[in-house]
Structure 1
């Protein structure tokens, strides 16, 4: 198996993951969200004194105020404020297929954001939230020269656990690989644990609080190895989108302009994503209706529904598409919240679906899966 085959980008599935909404921190009371921390102070004579170095805790608290959770039609990820226009940097795969997304801040206020720029080969996008305009962004380390051993923080919403921070070091440099349709070059390899939902979150220098990169991929769920796109390699493109937003977004998943097959699906991956979205919202009727007649002939609706009653949220990995002569094959790794008598467990599966048209409608014709140990 090639190294690239073991890599995953970290967007959550259609329904994201289970969300734990904590109460807003009392330290934010009366303070503007994302407000800048003071970096200098005046003495009794009015002279400016040099600011003391920030503690690790202060850097984390300041950074979290500028990091958001992003929910789109395809899942859940993270992002961070990078300018005073209310623009957020995130990964393209977090917002792919969506023009409008939901953005949730540290104090759990929700805003509508517009995707104003998205890469088709580079996994980066910009989301604009007018309500966040003029708020202080995270500082960017554009001229940063990384070295192995540099201490870092990874912020985001792994598995929907918002406001999560993990620590580690830069453990490797100049890593490059492809995860269709994106090309990743000169990445930072990091030891800070990241997983689904971390996508688009900032990689922060643990000593200065400056953004070093965008957390984007992991080797495997269990490896503890992640990858971050250096901020210096994508900031110029992001600023171009902020200055001149795209009037029409490209269809990143298909590699072309926006187009659907006439049934509301951009391609066969969308019906599989909608299948899991229906399951996660308890809409078993819609999920069952997406199955082909042969599959429905093997299981009644009642049995289908009862099979999912002890399943909580299902988190999706990256949906992969392979076109066939008579349809398509869609593969995806999922993590299911399973409620057992002994307690709740989280089990990962590798799923493979055959998708094609039946009586003029796109259907999930067959499916099989196996546990990922």
Structure 2
């Protein structure tokens, strides 16, 4: 399980050649021809270089609780309030709220001599009191400049009577698997601790947030290391230590750091605006598997399949459509669907970007002026459901599923929102093509091969048309759940 650092198998032993190469780097043996960059003679020199900029962070949240849980929640000053207070006092019970303190310990690092400190959002949380503890023992109170839960980063500010030692960010995109790294932090509240290892992997997705793209390292990271820096051997911060994978909660050599390339734009926004301002495209996407790639004449599985377009988003006026596969965004290749949200979010609001999509087997370029994600989220929360008129239709059957029009009773039975239109799946035969592709009762089929379906007859006809070429290609269904979240499903029709 994952743990904030937050908890699969132990790492394989290094091969002799790799172990020798790493040892040469770490103990300062003469560099080979492949080592072009200047490095410290040993890790002690590197520690001396960066240690004073790495800090410990103590965050305390004060929580009010009722004494004994017995005092009713009455308006202050009323006769009943006074009566109950007197009763509990006579019985030796404190009826008034008492303060309970929850404390967390973590790590951080200074990036500006004026007192800007970086850590994880989960280290500070909703703390009322944050204290930054320096290597020389000084303790300075900190205030939160801004924080972001999606990439788990917080920017703090302390006031110091003298300039502070700092470290700088490096380019995590240049980090290679096998590069030496060093983690400095405050594991288990012990104080400054240094561990070393290598970059074990890149682009790890651990399902902790929408922009997962972690560096994996075997440098020991434990609870309390959260928010601390992961250094390359030039003393640059290439990641913020954030999570570990472990059955016990302790390090087994699988730790994760959020890359500097991911956090730097967010930090800049938090410093300038005290909030995030992420780019927004306004599409719902899903992965492209081999079956969907075949049905769309895409060749190999790649890109992000547009499952829906937000009516209020920037993508709609730019001409993006459900069924498009986004393969390049602002010049960056989209290898898989999870690449797109991270790349879009890192772009400035208001920027005009070229989006390359595959539509009907051909590449098409659309220009989109990005909106602001946070505004889009607020709009989505405030949007009211539309009131479409539902048709009553008889139940029909195809591909091992029964389906009907959406009546009032059907909406109520399957809890389908009023805004969802199409044909509802009422039952699915076990082992059928529909069942194998994950369709289930309550799903609403909105389109077949990009043609809208409003009643069962539309769906039956669309599936019959799909069979006309001998069923060589699967039918591409746009399927929504009762909440209106849509996905594409490719179902064989032969």
Q: State TM-score, norm by structure 1.
A: 0.51
Secondary structure at the aligned position of 1:234 is classed as helix
- Name which of 46, 56, 64 aligns with 2:43: 56
- Name which of 203, 211, 230 aligns with 1:174: 203
- Name which of 205, 221, 228 aligns with 1:201: 228
CA distance in 2, matches of 1:184, 1:95: 20
Q: Aligned pair 1:147/2:176, yes or no? A: yes
**Runs of at least 4 residues off by over 3 Å:** 51-55
Q: State TM-score, norm by structure 2.
A: 0.39
Secondary structure at the aligned position of 2:261 is classed as helix
Secondary structure at the aligned position of 2:207 is classed as strand
Residue 120 of structure 1, CA deviation: 2.6
Secondary structure at the aligned position of 1:236 is classed as helix
Question: Which structure would you say has the larger Rg?
Answer: 2
Asked which structure has the greater RCO (Cα within 8 Å, sep 6+), the reply is: 1
Structure 2: 5+ residue stretches without partners? 7-37, 61-102, 276-376, 379-494
CA distance in 2, matches of 1:134, 1:99: 26
Relative to its length, the structure with more strand (as a share) is: 1
The answer for the alignment partner of 2:151 in structure 1 is: 122
The answer for the alignment partner of 1:185 in structure 2 is: 212
The 3 A distance-change label for structure 1 pair 130 and 244 is farther
CA distance in 1, matches of 2:39, 2:199: 25
What value does the CA root-mean-square deviation take over the aligned residues? 2.5
Secondary structure at the aligned position of 1:233 is classed as helix
The answer for the alignment partner of 2:240 in structure 1 is: 214
Structure 1: 5+ residue stretches without partners? 1-5, 12-50, 247-254, 257-373
What does residue range 1-373 of structure 1 map to in structure 2 within 5 Å?
A: 6-10=1-5, 53=40, 55-73=42-60, 74-131=103-160, 134-142=163-171, 144-179=173-208, 182-183=209-210, 185-205=212-232, 207-220=233-246, 221-245=250-274
Kept after mapping to 2: 8 A contact 1:99/1:114: no
Relative to its length, the structure with more helix (as a share) is: 2
The number of equivalent residue pairs is 202
The answer for the alignment partner of 1:290 in structure 2 is: none
Secondary structure at the aligned position of 1:139 is classed as coil
CA distance in 1, matches of 2:203, 2:267: 21
Residue 198 of structure 1, CA deviation: 0.1
Kept after mapping to 2: 8 A contact 1:86/1:133: no
CA distance in 2, matches of 1:142, 1:100: 33
Once the two structures are superposed, residues 291-320 of structure 1 have per-residue CA deviations (whole angstroms, 9 ceiling, x without a partner) of xxxxxxxxxxxxxxxxxxxxxxxxxxxxxx
The 3 A distance-change label for structure 1 pair 133 and 184 is farther
Residue 60 of structure 1, CA deviation: 0.7
CA distance in 1, matches of 2:245, 2:109: 23
